[in-house]
Structure 1
Amino acid sequence: MVLGSDLRRRNGRGLAAAVVLALAAALTACGDDSGGDDTAPPSPTVEQPTTAEPSPTATGPADSAAAEKEIEENWEKFFDPAVPLKDKQDLLEDGDKMSQVLDSFSGDERGGQVEATVNKVAFTSPTEADVTYTLTLKGATVMPDATGTAVEQDDVWKVSVKTLCGLVGLSGNESPGPGC
């Protein structure tokens, strides 16, 4: 038994040595300058730390705090049942073209009882943001982590058409109107 275990150990060492030799031969062949490809190997680069400040508009607007506040206010105003349709139209992307869809949403009994509270805003570009919000119906939470998008249009942060169309679709309305 001692003899057999000693052989296994030698075979393991022999295998390791063979692997090392094969790798050495392969590396030598790759570094062989005696012909073959004449292109020079790429020069290694070292990443230098930058001292310049990153651009504040890389993933969001220049004043993201003000934009976030405007999104929250406009989003909650848009979903406030007490706000007239004309005012909601001003807070909806392409609101002038989406009046039929907005009428369909607000005209639904449930649409007139829906409110929203913004939980989180994450900018995806200087003019778009993902919005996580809580949707309530008559004060009861119906969608605690609903998601939608806000877009900046005509210097105003608005609820996106796709967000409204998604909600109208959830209501079961098969023909919300043009634009959805």
Structure 2
Amino acid sequence: MAQLYFYYSAMNAGKSTSLLQSSYNYLERGMKTVIFTAQLDDRFGQGKVTSRIGLSSDARQFSKDSNLYQEINQLLAAETIDCILIDESQFLSEEQVKQLTDVVDYLSIPVLAYGIRTDFLGQTFSGSAALMAWADKLIELKTVCHCGRKANFIIRFNEQGKPVTSGSQVQIGGNDMYESVCRKHFKAAVWDKS
């Protein structure tokens, strides 16, 4: 029975690595996967999912205007699809998450979505909120703060290395501008400014 899975974490927990390993597991058994990634994240090139440990794969891109159900249904007309994998799923819209539930419910294809739960201000991304509400399975991938506690928040830094406490929710970057931290260190850097 197909299900919608949401694998979530802070940055640097191995989400892309896990996605690529899942795809490999299907491919090794002669099955077909389709990987999607957010069009706006082009750090490693357009249409690429790349992990920090060097694994990568080509991917289809989704934008805010993509109808994922229609696109997947058209692909399915040409070939068998055994699994859909979504990288950077925090950038999905609520409507796109509902489309993925239709892929699961009406096309009977499992969907594995990987993304960040909250932004640099501790606010939930809309795609992540919809996945938290609609996914059949929620799986937290863990990473650690510099203090050794579980890191479940992200701090964004400016060019001077100071924590950013306002601005656009989306700013693409990596370890050069973001750090995953525990709640205590997140509050100290972002909230406790009095």
Q: Check whether TM > 0.5.
A: no
Greater percentage in helix: 1
Name which one, 1 or 2, has greater alpha-carbon Rg: 1
Q: Quickly name the TM-score band, shorter chain normalised.
A: under 0.3
